[in-house]
Structure 1
Amino acid sequence: MNTITRRNDIVKRVKKEGSIDVEGLAVAYGVSVETVRRDLRYLDDKGLIKRTYGGAVKRERTTWDMPYNQRILFQKDLKEAIAREAVKQLENGDSIYIDGNTTCVILSRFIPPDLELSIVTNSLHIAWILKQHGGRMTIYLVGGELGQEGMTFGHKLIMEMKQYQFDKVFFSCMGINAKGCYYSKWEPMLTAQTAAEHANRVILLADSSKMNRNGFLFGLDHKSIDCLVTDEGAPEPLLDKLRESIEQVITVPVTENSNAANSDQGSWPLDSPILIKEE
C-alpha cells in the first residue's frame, strides 16, 4: 500500500471508529511506528484528523469549514424553513442588508417580489437571484475584493457599508453560544459587525447545527441582536439563555424530511474522495 492510499485509509478509519492508535495502525499496514506518526502529523496539518498522545481522533468540524458548494446544501431543508420565516420580518419600504452567507442566499429566494425594498448585499449570487425576481426591489452590490465564494470583502467593502443606514440586516455566523456569535475568519466577522452598527434591527439566521459552538473570532454579543431565527432542534436551555438578551427568538418546526436529509449528509462530508497528494 503506497503512502497516499494509506493516508486516505487512515482518515476513513478515524471517521468510522472515532479514534485510532499508532501501534494498531503500524501492525495493520505493516509499517513502522515512526511512519504512522509521520502520516498522522501530515493529516493533522491538513486538518483531516486531530493527533492525540499515542494516536488520533476525529476532528470536530463546523459548516464553515466546508467548501461553499457543500455548505449551501448542508441543512438545506432547515435553512429554507428558517428563510421562509425570516422574510416575514420584511415590510414595504425597508432598506436592508443581506450578507452573502449560504443561509442568506437561500433567504433571497423567498423575498416577495411585490415588496418595495432597497437591498444592499456583498454577494454576487444574492444580487443575481434578486435581479431575476424583478418586481419593485432596488439592488445595490457593495464593492471590494471579490472572493472565490462570490462575495466581496476588504477595506473598500467596509467603507461603503458605513455610508448606509439599514432598517434591517440579515446575517449568519459560524456558531452561537451563551456568550454570543463567532466566526472563523476576519472578513465575515467585520462585515457582520459593521452591518449591525448601521442597522435599526439585526436579524441572525442560525440553524441548530450552529448552537453551542464557538470559533476563533468573537463577533457580536447577544445585546447586538434583535431577532434570532433558528429551528426547534436548537437546545432549549441555550434558547432560554438567549431569550434573556434577544428581543425575539423564533424557532421553526423540524420536519421528517429535514431530519432524513440531514442524517444522510452528516456534519462533514468525507465520503467524497479525499484526494491527498504527496508533498
Structure 2
Amino acid sequence: MSSDADPGRGGRSRAARQQRIVDHVLGAGSASAAELVELTGVSLMTVHRDVDELVRRGLVRKYRGGVSAQPTSVFESHSDYRRTVRRAEKNAIADAALAFVEPGSSIMLDDSTSALALAERLADVGPLTVVTNYLPALELLKGLPEIRLLALGGDYSRTHDSFGGVGCLEAVEAVSVDAAFVSTSSMTGSMTFHQEQDIVVVKRRMLEVADRCVLLMDSSKAPRRALHHLRPLSAFDDLVVDAGMTAALLEEMGEHTRVTVAEVGR
C-alpha cells in the first residue's frame, strides 16, 4: 500500500484519487470501503475522509459499509458529476461546434460541461470575446492572451459551480453577442427542457442576447423530458449532437433546425 502523504502533489493527488473513486462508483453503481482501499492504495481512514468529502459535495451517497451512486435530478445537476460523464461525446460535439466560432467574434457560454469542452478548444481560434457565468470556464480562459473575458456575476451556486440570480440576468442583459453556445438537461425531437426553473431563466436570457444560438446535446439527453420547457428546438439556429442519436430522432430534429452530427473518436 502506498503512503497517504504526498508532500509535492498533495492537493492534486487527493483530487485525482477522489475523481477515481467517483468514476469507479458511477461505473459500478456501488462499492465497499474495502474495494476503495484496494482501488486507491491508501488507508481505510483516508478513504473514509475522501468519501465524506464526496458526500458533502453531493457526488456519492454513503451507506453502512459502502458508497453508492444513484443519480437524481439534483445529483445530475452537480457540476462535478456532469464533468465525469459522456466525456468522449462532449469532446466530439465541441470539436464540431468549434467550426461555428469565428475569430474576432463575441460568444457566450452557459454553465454546461458541453460548453466547457468548447472553451477548452478556444486557445488557437484567434482573438475572441467570451462571456460566461461558469466558474470552471472562467478559470480555464483567464490566462489566454487572445481572449477578452467577461464574467457574468450574481449568486454563486456550489452545485452548478456558476453564477445566477438577478445579478446574472442583469449582466446578461447588458451585452449582445454574436453566438451563444448552450446545453440543457433533456430534449425531444422538437423541445428542450431543464428541471430547474432558475437555470431555465438564465439560459433563456442568454439566447435572447445572441445573434446565433447553438445547442450542444449528447445523445444521453434524448428523447427525455424534464419539468420546465426551455425553448422549442426551432428557436436554435444549429444543433450539434453525437452519433448516438437514432435516425428517427435526427430526422425529426432536422425538421426544426440545422443538425450537425459529431462522430465520436474522429
> Normalising by structure 1, what TM-score?
0.67
Please report how far the alpha carbon of residue 61 of structure 1 lies from its aligned counterpart in structure 2 after TM superposition.
5.6
| 2:79 is equivalent to residue 72 of structure 1 | no
Aligned match for 1:196, one of 192, 195, 207: 207
Aligned pairs for 1:177-216 within 5 A: 177-216=188-227
Match for 2:261: what amino acid?
T
Counterparts of 2:107 and 2:195 in 1: how far apart (Å)?
Answer: 25
Aligned pairs for 1:251-262 within 5 A: 251-255=261-265
Match for 2:85: what amino acid?
F
Q: Tell whether the 8 Å contact from 1:115 to 1:135 is kept in structure 2 after alignment.
A: no
Is there any run of 5+ residues in structure 1 with no aligned partner, and where?
A: 1-14, 17-47, 49-58, 257-279
Q: Tell whether the 8 Å contact from 1:64 to 1:184 is kept in structure 2 after alignment.
A: no
Match for 1:220: what amino acid?
R
Counterparts of 1:190 and 1:200 in 2: how far apart (Å)?
Answer: 18
| 2:152 is equivalent to residue 139 of structure 1 | no
Structure 1: which 4+ aligned runs deviate by more than 3 Å?
A: 59-64
Please report how far the alpha carbon of residue 188 of structure 1 lies from its aligned counterpart in structure 2 after TM superposition.
1.9
Aligned residues: 199
| 2:94 is equivalent to residue 83 of structure 1 | yes
Q: Tell whether the 8 Å contact from 2:190 to 2:252 is kept in structure 1 after alignment.
A: no
Residue equivalent to 2:229 = 218
Q: Tell whether the 8 Å contact from 1:203 to 1:225 is kept in structure 2 after alignment.
A: yes
Counterparts of 2:118 and 2:77 in 1: how far apart (Å)?
Answer: 20
Please report how far the alpha carbon of residue 114 of structure 1 lies from its aligned counterpart in structure 2 after TM superposition.
4.6
Q: Tell whether the 8 Å contact from 1:117 to 1:138 is kept in structure 2 after alignment.
A: yes
Q: Deviations over 1:98-121 (max 9, x none)?
A: 011111122111113451111110
Match for 1:100: what amino acid?
D
Residue equivalent to 1:110 = 121
Residue equivalent to 1:227 = 238
Tell me which structure has the larger Cα radius of gyration: 1
CA RMSD of aligned residues (A): 2.2
Q: Deviations over 1:78-99 (max 9, x none)?
A: 1111111111111111111001
Q: Tell whether the 8 Å contact from 1:63 to 1:74 is kept in structure 2 after alignment.
A: no
- Cα 1:198–1:206 shift into 2, 3 Å: same
Counterparts of 1:200 and 1:127 in 2: how far apart (Å)?
Answer: 22
- Cα 1:60–1:235 shift into 2, 3 Å: farther
Please report how far the alpha carbon of residue 67 of structure 1 lies from its aligned counterpart in structure 2 after TM superposition.
3.4
| Identical aligned residues as a percent | 23
Please report how far the alpha carbon of residue 159 of structure 1 lies from its aligned counterpart in structure 2 after TM superposition.
1.3
Q: Tell whether the 8 Å contact from 2:123 to 2:146 is kept in structure 1 after alignment.
A: no
Please report how far the alpha carbon of residue 63 of structure 1 lies from its aligned counterpart in structure 2 after TM superposition.
9.2
- Cα 1:119–1:255 shift into 2, 3 Å: closer
Q: Deviations over 1:171-214 (max 9, x none)?
A: 10110102310001012211111111111110011000011111
Counterparts of 1:243 and 1:210 in 2: how far apart (Å)?
Answer: 17
Counterparts of 1:172 and 1:77 in 2: how far apart (Å)?
Answer: 16
Q: Tell whether the 8 Å contact from 1:186 to 1:217 is kept in structure 2 after alignment.
A: yes
Is there any run of 5+ residues in structure 2 with no aligned partner, and where?
A: 1-28, 31-60, 62-69
Q: Deviations over 1:129-153 (max 9, x none)?
A: 0123x23110000110011032000
Q: Tell whether the 8 Å contact from 1:114 to 1:135 is kept in structure 2 after alignment.
A: no
SS in 2 for 1:249: strand
Aligned match for 2:180, one of 153, 166, 169: 169
